[in-house]
Amino acid sequence: MHSDGYADKPFINRVHSGEAFGYGGLVASMLWGLALLALTVSGVTLYWRLAGANRQGRTGITRWFF
- The model's pLDDT over 11-49, given as tens digits with 9 standing for 90+, comes to 888 887 778 888 888 888 889 999 999 999 999 888 888
Q: Does 57 score more than 80 pLDDT?
A: no
Domain housing 37: 3-63
At residue 19, the pLDDT reads: 80
E-assigned strands of 1-66?
Answer: none
pLDDT band at 65 (very low <50, low <70, confident <90, very high): low
34 vs 9, 27, 38, 50, 56, CA distance in Å? Answer: 25, 11, 6, 24, 34
At residue 14, the pLDDT reads: 81
- Stated pTM of the model: 0.58
Cβ(20)–Cβ(11) below 8 Å: yes
